Amino acid sequence: MEVDIREINTYVISLHDAVERRKKIVEMLRMMGIKQWHFFNAVDVRNKFPYWIGCGLSHYMTLDQANYPCIVLEDDVAPSEWGQLTIDIPDDGITYLGVSSWGLKNGQSEHMGVVFEENNDNTCVVKYMTSAHAIYYPNKTLAKQFYDGILRHMFETGRPFDEHYALMQLKNKTYVLKKPLYYQNCDKNRFYTNFKIG
């Protein structure tokens, strides 16, 4: 299925006072020609709960209210050197537009803990990947397979929601672009998310 990302509803999760991040993401979206994008004000749990509680709640609420198909970005993404505006992806699962080398392959989140299985020239099937900085959701039914369990996972395990996503990849066909469109442009994650597969 060919998808022009400029035509897809795009939601950017961002804290309401993240002025510099918002400025950068607006510049990026305009430069890329994204036509329909919206900020979702992230749930602010600072000084109350771990940051990942707010992150998980924000993804849950964004996806519950979104118009599909849609792309959900976190506000620290930047376009990769391999990015294309039109991508050929399967329509029977969600597709990660960003990639990470962190995963749960051995039962805990660790570098090189991801399994990538060949699918076609453009995509791999991914398993165990802990990431959510850039994802394409073709419809609400497929999105709900992932976001429906976010709250239960966080509050029953005390672990971040992207670990729930990593486990859902074992039950639901999930894809990742071999040449990702985005990476996390922050000191902590840039190295782990700015690469192509193969």
| CATH entry 1.10.10.10 includes domain 2-193 | no
Spell out the domain ranges in the chain: 2-193
d(CA 135, CA 145): 14
Q: Which pLDDT belongs to residue 83?
A: 84
Q: What is the mean pLDDT of residues 149-155?
A: 97
Asked, as a colleague might, if the bond just before 50 is cis with ω within 30 of 0, I would say: no
- Note the pLDDT tens digit of each residue in 128-142: 999 999 999 999 999
Q: Determine the angle formed by the axes of helices 161-168 and 150-157, rounding to 10 degrees.
A: 120
- Note the pLDDT tens digit of each residue in 14-57: 999 999 999 999 999 999 999 999 999 999 999 999 999 999 99
Q: Determine the angle formed by the axes of helices 51-65 and 140-147, rounding to 10 degrees.
A: 160
- Note the pLDDT tens digit of each residue in 164-174: 999 999 999 99
The answer to whether the predicted template modeling score (pTM) of the entire model surpasses 0.85 is yes
